[in-house]
Amino acid sequence: MSGPEQMHAAYVESLGGTDAIRYGMLPVPRCGPGDVLLQVEAVAVDNVDTFVRSGRFPTALTFPFVIGRDVVGTVVGRGAEVTTPNVGDRVWCNSLGHDGRQGPTSEYTTAPADRVYSLPAGVDPVVAVAVAHPAATAHLALYTHAGLRAVETVFVAGGAGHVGSALTVMAARSGARVLVSARADDDEWCRSSGAAEVLDYTAPDLAGRLRSAASDGIDVLVDTSGRLDLATTLNLLATRGRIVVMAGMDRQLECRAGDLYPRDRSLIGFAISNATSDELAEAAQHVTTLLADGVLRPRNVEELPLSAAGEAHRRLEAGDARGIRLVLRPEH
């Protein structure tokens, strides 16, 4: 690629709070043999970005470390061993900023060629980057880890959130019956995503309502809320029911062993950062199909310039972005 040698980027020079985030000039990265160089169009801001930046989620980092994880961009260069994608292709990636890979909150970024996926024609890059990470997370939770089958009953705890909405869409389209918990004012959104029933998560008799709604038991329960009461929830499961936990890092989970193994029930911890390249590619194929079909959509997106990365992290950590997907865009 013939182009600029320097770029604007949001980065940190050490782990820390949001005040550690800097915005300034860094060298445009060079492609390794198996990498592609992307000119960035849009970057999503995820909670996991704040975990990596602060050190709550330990991973290999090289400083200065460009923050972020999810990106949509155009291929402008590629390494010697790369045969696809081609220069000029628009692609997305949702596994940067981890395990030694730099993040994409910059004007240019590199990504392993086997971790970038084609952006369907006509799909808005902001929509794509807003839903890619939650949707890939949902696919891996439902199919890779929980082994969802079409005839099963699924309960999504936190069904109105970014991941919860994607879980609901995917499970419903697979033929499962989907129950969700959410705020009362999220009922319409959850039903539009495919929920058969929406239960107010603040209801004092939520467990009883779930038991009535799923009289044969819940087959797959995915907790995105971080408020899982394991002892209560286990007794709502069917035989061979599975609970997938992906939130509430500091929450203590306790249960009786007798409520777990005698009925072949499973408790599964899951983080997308542990997914293999093959697993991510399988998830991406599903996500790309749903993007092309126009089924996946963010509830509310707010676009900010790259220079506002620190503000975006502050808002996420303060809980001031509920229901909003924050997307950063270069100012070129």
pLDDT at site 163: 96
The CA angle 34-37-39, to the nearest 5 degrees, is 160
Lookup: tokens for 80 = 């010697």
Tell me: the pLDDT tens digits for 216-237? 999 999 999 999 999 999 999 9
Bridge partners of 244, per DSSP, are 222, 268
Mean pLDDT, rounded, of the chain:
96
Q: What does the alpha-carbon distance between residue 85 and residue 77 come to, in Å, rounded to a whole number?
A: 10
Q: What does the alpha-carbon distance between residue 250 and residue 100 come to, in Å, rounded to a whole number?
A: 25
What is the pTM for the complete model shown? 0.94
Residue 292 has pLDDT above 80, yes or no: yes
What's the rounded mean pLDDT across residues 308-329? Answer: 95
* Ranges assigned E (strand) in 113-159: 117-118, 153-157
Residue 1 has pLDDT above 60, yes or no: no
The CA angle 317-135-156, to the nearest 5 degrees, is 80
Q: What does the alpha-carbon distance between residue 137 and residue 145 come to, in Å, rounded to a whole number?
A: 11
pLDDT at site 2: 61
The CA angle 39-41-42, to the nearest 5 degrees, is 130
What's the rounded mean pLDDT across residues 75-103? Answer: 97
